[in-house]
Structure 1
Amino acid sequence: MSEILPKFDFTERRRFPIGLTVAVAIAFGILCFLGVWQMKRMAWKEDLLARIEALKTAPAVPIGPVLADAAKGSNVAWTRVEVACRPASLPPLSLAYGIRDGDMVWRAQALCGVESGPYDLILVDRGVVTELTGQVEAPARAFAEPGQVTGVLIPLAQLGGDRAKAVAGLAGRKPAPLALMVERETPAPSGVAPAPLPAEITNRHLEYALTWFGLAVTLLFIYAAMLWRRLRP
């Protein structure tokens, strides 16, 4: 009877799982990377929230020196500035799509000529066209060019979409890599409600980071248990 039973090689069971180890190491590295990235995002978000909190009482300053600092590499995001826009002498910009309070909105935007400094143009986000809220498509709308504007600066890269494309490729012009989010405008365009700040800014990055790190530790425990079961006598 013993002669017909297959023989089992126990050395196969005890062989070190190289492929599994490599896969676990890669997954562990990815999870740790995501955790560290979320910690960096948390630091960025805390700085952002601190800037917005300070913005509540900050006076508006002339835009020229602020843009000069931006050209030198300074972080001027969320600085409250004021500017008397010169005519840009360029075609008007189309409305920009956005989401606010869960609704689809269309934001009026224009180009503001800057009198002095390293840049001669800046994109002005004038606010939400109230009657177009919730519409999937927006008709062409024309507004007068901006005049006296007070608002906060935001890097174009943070706005996403086609904002940067709106000022790219303007021959002979030097547009700022920032957008001026209008708080107050004189004269104010009819039917446009200024909306310079996000409706809600959450900071759950610590929670996300702990989740990724927790998954990494869990993966190590599972791998250790599998390895112990595989290599035990």
Structure 2
Amino acid sequence: MSDVQTRKPGFPVGLTVATGIAFALLCGLGAWQVQRLHWKQGVLARIETLKTAPALPLIQVLTADARPEDLAWTRVSVDCGDVAGASLPLVYGVRDGDVVWRAQAPCAVLAGPYNMILVDRGVVSALTGQVAPPPRSFDAPRHVVGVLTPIKQLGGDRAKILSRFPGRKPAPLVLMAEAETPAPAEIAPAPLPAEISNRHLEYALTWFGLAVTLLFIYAAMLWRRLRP
């Protein structure tokens, strides 16, 4: 029998390095999901708190020093001034599994460095389920009570809408209306998501479980390779 046939395999350096990198990545993803879990729990707790929180004047909340992300879910009230221009298009959304179309409108304000805020007035009930609804127009908002949401969290074309008002300095937030005076016909306020999922613990356990499984597979391969 030759030396090549009797030589034992060496320690798998490449496999060990690849396993270590993969293990670190899986643990990193698990840790990130744990962080997301704590963040989501904070959001849910804040939403529960705002259900009974009084509305603060927008001018008191929307100051030059306030960061948009810190104002999320803050309940405010504001008297809207008129903003010249055509009616804004409806915004596509999904609620309770149905396609919905949300009405939006500009609101002239004087709050900190801003002189306008975008108001999400709610769902146009008659258009629920329609794929391509006809254009709709509504009277401008007057007195609005609602919660603030950073515009970047809503996605879609919300931020692009603001480019229609070059002479304004809009706030980087959307006021999700809970109630308006006078109440607009055909619009149902829907400021908060119907359901906010929180599966980050499940995701974290999945990533950590994959990391542990990887170690078992590596240990089994190493044992088979180096056993007498």
Q: Indicate which of 19, 24, 32 corresponds to 2:14.
A: 19
Q: Could you say which residue in structure 1 is the equivalent of 2:44? A: 49
**CA–CA distance in structure 2, aligned partners of residues 43 and 169 of structure 1:** 37
Structure index of larger Rg: 1
**1:118 corresponds to which of 113, 117, 141:** 113
SS in structure 2 of the partner of residue 198 of structure 1? coil
Q: What are the within-5 Å matches in structure 2 for residues 134-213 of structure 1?
A: 134-168=129-163, 170-213=165-208
**Runs (5+) with no aligned partner, structure 1:** none
- Residue pair 2:69, 2:150 contacting (<8 A) in 1 also: no
Q: Distance in 2 between matches of 1:191 and 1:206?
A: 40
Shift of 1:10: 4.0
The CA RMSD measured in Å over matched residues stands at: 1.9
8 Å Cα contact 1:156/1:178 also seen in 2: yes
TM-score (norm 2): 0.93
1:81 to 76, 87, 91: 76
CA offset digits 1:129-148 (Å, max 9, x no partner): 10111111121111111110
Over 3 Å counting, the alpha-carbon distance change for 1:130 and 1:73 in structure 2 is closer
Instruction: Label 1:105 to 1:136 Cα distance change in 2 as closer, same or farther (>3 A).
Output: same
The match for 1:232 is: 227
Per the TM alignment, residue 22 of structure 1 is displaced from its structure 2 partner at its CA by 2.9
Q: Choose the corresponding residue for 2:24, options 22, 26, 29.
A: 29
Verify: 1:220 aligned to 2:215, yes or no: yes
The question of whether the paired residues in 2 share the 8 Å contact of 1:69 and 1:76 is answered with no
Structure 1 counterpart of 2:71, which letter?
A: V
Query: Percent same amino acid among aligned pairs?
Result: 64
Q: Give runs of ≥4 in structure 1 deviating > 4 Å.
A: none
Structure 1 CA distance, aligned partners of 2:68 and 2:174? 16
Residue 109 of structure 2 aligns with an amino acid whose one-letter code is V
Contact 1:71 1:118 in 2 (8 A): no
